C-alpha cells in the first residue's frame, strides 16, 4: 500500500510540475533526495532506538517487522560482507524489509554501495528534461524504494525491482550528455556486440498514456461508472461476505515469535467440527502433529475491512477502464459511420 501511494503521489507531483512548466528547485531536489534516507531510518534505525509503547505501536502497525529487524541486527549482528541465516533463527523469523535484508545478508559494504547508487540515480534523474515518461520513471523509482520498507523484493533475486534498470543505465552512461534510451530499449555496447534489453517501464508508460488519453475524452463516463460499481460492490460485499470470528492456521505459516501464542494440536475430528462452525475458518490443516494457532479479535476485523477495500477498489477500477474503453470504441464507430455517409 505504501508503494502504491508513493507511485500515485510522485506521478501527480511530477506531472503537475511539467504541466505548469515549473522546474524542480534546489530545495525540492534536496527534499526528494532525503526520502531515501528517511525510508532507511524508518526501516532500520527506528526499530533499534524506539522503546516501550512507541515501539509497540510501530511493531503492530508494521506487523512485527520492526521486532524481527531488531532481533536480526542486534542478536545476530551485522558484518561487513554479510551473513547467512543464523542457525539460532527459527523458520518463522524472516526479514520482510528490503533495507534490513540487504544490510544483514549483503553486509555493510554492499548496503552502502547500493544506497549511494540510488542517491546518485535520484539526483541525476531529477535533472532530466520533464516529460510524461520521465514522470513515470520517477514514480517507478519512488514506488520501489517506498515499498522496500515493508517488502523484501527490492534487493533479492526475485527480479521484481524494475528501478534497477535505471540504476544500471546510469552505470552504463559513458560520458556527460550521452544517455542510453531508457524507454525504447537499453543498449549496451560490449566489444563488437550490442545488446538490446526490453524495458518494462516503457510498456508501463505507454499503457498509462493510453489510460490518460482515454480519461481526458471519457473521464465523466468512466468516473460515473466507477462510482456506481464501487457503490454496488460495497452493498454486495456488506450483504454477502461472511465476517469471520476466528482463523485457525498452521504454526509454520505465521511469523508469530516462539512462546507468544498457545500451540494447538487438533485431530481431524476437531478440525471437522470447527469447519462446520459458522464464523470459523480453518486454513491449511495438515495433521494432529502439526501445531496450529487461533487468531481472534482485531485481526479478523482487519481482514474483513481489507477485503471490502480490495473489492470496492478493483470494482471501481475495472468499471472505469471498461466504460472508458467502451466509450472510445463507440466514438470511433460513430466517426466511421459518419465518414461512410
Q: Are residue 34 and residue 70 in the same domain, yes or no? A: yes
In the structure grid, which three cell numbers stand for residue 76, read together? 545476530
Interstrand relation of 280-282 and 292-296 (parallel, antiparallel or unpaired): unpaired
Length of the chain: 341
pLDDT digits (tens, 9 = 90+) for 161-219: 888 888 887 776 644 444 444 434 444 444 444 444 445 555 555 556 656 665 566 66
Which pLDDT belongs to residue 44? 92
| Cell 549482528 found at | 77
The reported pTM is 0.61
Q: How far apart are CA 320 and CA 180, in angstroms?
A: 36
Cell numbers 506487523 correspond to 63
Verify that 86 and 109 share a domain, yes or no.
yes
How far apart CA 246 and CA 259 sit, in angstroms, is 20
Between the alpha carbon of residue 76 and those of residues 62, 88, 258, the distances in Å are: 21, 9, 17
The gap from C-alpha 142 to its chain's centroid, in whole angstroms, comes to 10
Q: Is residue 199 situated within a structural domain?
A: no
User: Do 312 and 298 belong to one domain?
Assistant: no
Euclidean distance between CA atoms 164 and 117, whole angstroms: 10
Task: State the pLDDT at residue 182.
Answer: 43
pLDDT value at residue 184? 40
Specify whether 228 is located in the same domain as 283. Answer: no
Give the DSSP H or E segment for 160: none
- Write out the three cell numbers for 96: 520482510
The DSSP letter of residue 341 is -
Q: Which of 177, 198, 227 is the last residue of a domain?
A: 177
* Residue 150 domain flag: yes
Does the residue 35 lie in any domain? yes
Domain shared by 225 and 169, yes or no? no
Residue 200 within a domain = no
Contact 165, 171 (CB under 8 A): no
Low-confidence ranges of the chain (pLDDT < 50): 174-198
The reply to whether 167 and 113 lie within a common domain is yes
DSSP 127: T
Instruction: Give the model confidence (pLDDT) of 314-324 as tens digits.
Output: 898 888 878 87
Question: Residues 263, 170: one domain?
Answer: no
**Is the domain of 295 the same as that of 319?**
no
Are 127 and 232 in a shared domain? no
Give start and end residues of each alpha helix (H) in 20-94. Answer: 26-33, 35-40, 46-49, 52-61, 65-70
232, 283: one domain: no
pLDDT at 257: 67
Q: Write out the residue range of the structural domain in which residue 298 sits.
A: 246-302
Would you say residue 196 lies in a domain? no
* Residues 141 and 222 grouped into a single domain: no
Strand (E) or helix (H) holding 23: none
Residues 228 and 325 placed together within one structural domain of the fold: yes
Q: Is residue 192 part of a domain?
A: no
In terms of C-beta density within 10 A (0-12 exposed, 13-18 middle, 19 or more buried), how is residue 270 classed?
middle
Domain count, the chain: 3
* Per-residue pLDDT, 209: 62
Q: CA nearest 47: which of 119, 115, 4, 96?
A: 96
Q: For residue 322, give Cα distances in angstroms to 4, 123, 249, 331, 334.
A: 22, 39, 38, 14, 18
| Domain-located, residue 209 | no
**In-domain check, residue 290:** yes
Amino acid at each position: 500500500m505504501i508503494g502504491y501511494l508513493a507511485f500515485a503521489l510522485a506521478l501527480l507531483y511530477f506531472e503537475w510540475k511539467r504541466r505548469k512548466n515549473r522546474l524542480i528547485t534546489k530545495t525540492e531536489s534536496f527534499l526528494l533526495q532525503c526520502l531515501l534516507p528517511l525510508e532507511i531510518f524508518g526501516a532500520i534505525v527506528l526499530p533499534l532506538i524506539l522503546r516501550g509503547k512507541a515501539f509497540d505501536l510501530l511493531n503492530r502497525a508494521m506487523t512485527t517487522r520492526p521486532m524481527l529487524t531488531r532481533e536480526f541486527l542486534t542478536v545476530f549482528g551485522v558484518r561487513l560482507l554479510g551473513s547467512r541465516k543464523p542457525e539460532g533463527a527459527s523458520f518463522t523469523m524472516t526479514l520482510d524489509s528490503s533495507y534490513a535484508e540487504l544490510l544483514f545478508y549483503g553486509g555493510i559494504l554492499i548496503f552502502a554501495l547500493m544506497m549511494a547508487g540510488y542517491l546518485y540515480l535520484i539526483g541525476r534523474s531529477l535533472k532530466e528534461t520533464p516529460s510524461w515518461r520521465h514522470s513515470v520513471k520517477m514514480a517507478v523509482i519512488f514506488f520501489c524504494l517506498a515499498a522496500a520498507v515493508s517488502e523484501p523484493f527490492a534487493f533479492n533475486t526475485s527480479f521484481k525491482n524494475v528501478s534497477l534498470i535505471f540504476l544500471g543505465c546510469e552505470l552504463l552512461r559513458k560520458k556527460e550528455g550521452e544517455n542510453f534510451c531508457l524507454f525504447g530499449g537499453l543498449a549496451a555496447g560490449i566489444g563488437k556486440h550490442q545488446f538490446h534489453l526490453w524495458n518494462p517501464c516503457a510498456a508501463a508508460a505507454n499503457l498509462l498514456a493510453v489510460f490518460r488519453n482515454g480519461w481526458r475524452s471519457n473521464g465523466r463516463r468512466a468516473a460515473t461508472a466507477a462510482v456506481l460499481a464501487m457503490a454496488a460492490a460495497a452493498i454486495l460485499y456488506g450483504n454477502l461476505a461472511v465476517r469471520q470470528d476466528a482463523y485457525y492456521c498452521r504454526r509454520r505459516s505465521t511469523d508469530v515469535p516462539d512462546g507468544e501464542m498457545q500451540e494447538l494440536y487438533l485431530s481431524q475430528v476437531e478440525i471437522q467440527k470447527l469447519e462446520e462452525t459458522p464464523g470459523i475458518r480453518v486454513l491449511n490443516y495438515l495433521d494432529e502433529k502439526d501445531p496450529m494457532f487461533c487468531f481472534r479479535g482485531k485481526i479478523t476485523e482487519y481482514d474483513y475491512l481489507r477485503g471490502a477495500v480490495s473489492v470496492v477498489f478493483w470494482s471501481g477500477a475495472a468499471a472505469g477502464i471498461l466504460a472508458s474503453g467502451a466509450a472510445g470504441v463507440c466514438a470511433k464507430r460513430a466517426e466511421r459511420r459518419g465518414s461512410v455517409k
